[in-house]
Structure 1
Amino acid sequence: MIEAVIFDWAGTTVDYGSLAPVIAFKKAFENAGIELSDGDIRRDMGMAKWDHIGKILKLDDVKQQWEQKYSALPNNNDRKKLYEDFQISLLHYLKEYTELKSGVLKTFKYLNDYEIKVATTTGYTAEMMKIVQDKAAKDGYVPELVVTSEDVNGHGRPFPDMIHYIMEEFKIDDPKNIVKVGDTLVDIEEGQNAGVRTVGIVEGSSLMGLSKIEFDELSSEEQLAKRNQVKRKFESVNTDFVIDSIFDLVQIIEYLNESMDKKW
């Protein structure tokens, strides 16, 4: 039986489109005179933010811009300054972009009713999570356990350490009794590295990269095309299940429980 569900935050349960970190990354690099595209930012979304900045600094376009502006490649001090600016920006924007996504409370109630534990992992720091958690709690979403890379000696995604930490806290031995739900490929990689079931959410995901207004303004055909584009990305990394929205998670859990019952 499924004993626990581990959710991501931005793009999965809050912040439709995972907009806050994108804006903050752009602001931090803009302060350094470097222009980033959404694609530059989103390709490694979900990692611990220090690691994510390191990945961005290794992009060819970013290195070229940096060398052109500073006549040198970025060093560790540059990375630290970018990280500090990113933190300042994100702490500001998190206050604006922490609305729960549609269906979260209904799904959370189902999990509670069936005594399925709820935990979360994130690329945010504990300081960032305090803002997100407090807002989510006021709206009725209170996971039993919230884990950041700071709880596991900095070993954030895609390492499985945060999930292993949750398994130990929940006293769950079999990873197949856990479902990891996220909106990025790094979420899926984290789950796969831990041996748990993985579920990718399509609508409102960082992979889709659209705000709720932008998505709603698309025609039905355009929406379908966007959904299929994201599904193909999840399928390309062998995600166990891909769902349009968090509403569909209940069906996945019931399917898994039924399948596990038949094996017995």
Structure 2
Amino acid sequence: MIEAVIFDWAGTTVDYGSLAPVIAFKKAFKDVGIELTDSEIRQDMGMAKWDHIGKILNMNDVKDQWKHEYGSLPTNDDRKRIYLGFQKSLIKYLRDYTELKSGVLKTFNYLKEYGIKVATTTGYTNEMMRIVEKKASENGYAPELVVTSEDVHDQGRPSPAMIQYIMEKFNIDDPQKVIKVGDTLVDIEEGHNAGVKTVGIVEGSSLMGLSQVEFDELDDEQQLVKRNEVKRKFELVNTDFIIDNIYDLVQIIEYLNEAMDKKW
């Protein structure tokens, strides 16, 4: 039987479209004279933010911009400066981007009813998560365990360390009894590295990159095209299950439980 579900946060359970980190990254880099596109930011979304900034600074276009602006490549001190600016911006934006996505409470209540433990992993820091966790709790969503890379010696995604830490805390030995749910490819890679079942969420995901309003303004055919684009990306990294909405997770759990019952 499935014993635990591990959710991501932004783009999965809160912040439809994972907008807050994108806005914060853009501002932090613009403050040092670097322009970023959404696709450049979202390419490694889900990683610990320090690691993510390192990835961005290593992009060819960003290095070219930096050379043009400063006459040299960015240093570790530059990375620290950007990281501090990013933290300051994100903490500000998180207060406005922690609304629960549709179906989260219904799914959460189902999991509680059937005794399935709920935990989370994230690319956010503990300080950031205190804001997100508090607002989510006020709206009825309160996972039993909230883990960041700071809890596992800064081993962020795609390392399996956070999931392994959760399994240890929950006394779960078999990774096949655990599901990791996320909206980025890094989420899926984290799940694969831990040996757990992986579920990718399509609507409101960072991979789709649209706000709720932007998605709702599309006609049915355009929405289908967007869903299929995201599904193909998840399929390319061998995601075990792909769902449109978080409440579709219930069907996945029931399917897996039935399959386990037949196996034994």
- TM superposition score normalised by structure 2: 1.00
Partner residue, 1:54: 54
Letter in 1 for 2:186: V
1:107 aligns with 2:107: yes
CA distance in 2: counterparts of 1:245 and 1:232, whole angstroms: 16
Partner residue, 1:125: 125
Deviation at 1:63, TM superposition (A): 0.2
CA distance in 2: counterparts of 1:196 and 1:80, whole angstroms: 34
Alignment deviations for residues 61-87 of structure 1 (CA, whole Å, 9 cap, x no partner):
000000000000001000000000000
Letter in 2 for 1:218: L
Letter in 2 for 1:75: T
Partner residue, 2:252: 252
Residue correspondence of structure 1 range 1-264 to structure 2 within 5 A: 1-264=1-264
Deviation at 1:145, TM superposition (A): 0.2
Alignment deviations for residues 76-107 of structure 1 (CA, whole Å, 9 cap, x no partner):
00000000000000000000000000000000
CA distance in 2: counterparts of 1:59 and 1:129, whole angstroms: 28
RMSD of aligned alpha carbons? 0.2
Q: SS of 2:88's equivalent?
A: helix
Q: SS of 2:120's equivalent?
A: strand
Deviation at 1:247, TM superposition (A): 1.3
CA distance in 2: counterparts of 1:166 and 1:257, whole angstroms: 21
CA distance in 2: counterparts of 1:164 and 1:173, whole angstroms: 9
Q: SS of 2:179's equivalent?
A: strand
Letter in 1 for 2:188: I
CA distance in 1: counterparts of 2:201 and 2:36, whole angstroms: 25
How many percent of aligned residue pairs carry the same amino acid?
A: 75
CA distance in 1: counterparts of 2:259 and 2:209, whole angstroms: 34
- TM superposition score normalised by structure 1: 1.00
CA distance in 1: counterparts of 2:247 and 2:211, whole angstroms: 18
CA distance in 2: counterparts of 1:226 and 1:113, whole angstroms: 33
CA distance in 2: counterparts of 1:5 and 1:142, whole angstroms: 13
Letter in 2 for 1:251: Q
Q: SS of 2:172's equivalent?
A: coil
Deviation at 1:180, TM superposition (A): 0.2
Structure 1, unmatched stretches of 5+, are: none
Q: SS of 1:118's equivalent?
A: strand
CA distance in 1: counterparts of 2:175 and 2:75, whole angstroms: 39
Deviation at 1:108, TM superposition (A): 0.2
Alignment deviations for residues 11-70 of structure 1 (CA, whole Å, 9 cap, x no partner):
000000000000000000000000000000000000000000000000000000000000
CA distance in 1: counterparts of 2:39 and 2:56, whole angstroms: 10
Letter in 1 for 2:254: E
Structure 2, unmatched stretches of 5+, are: none
- Alignment length (residue pairs): 264
Letter in 1 for 2:123: G
CA distance in 2: counterparts of 1:80 and 1:223, whole angstroms: 39
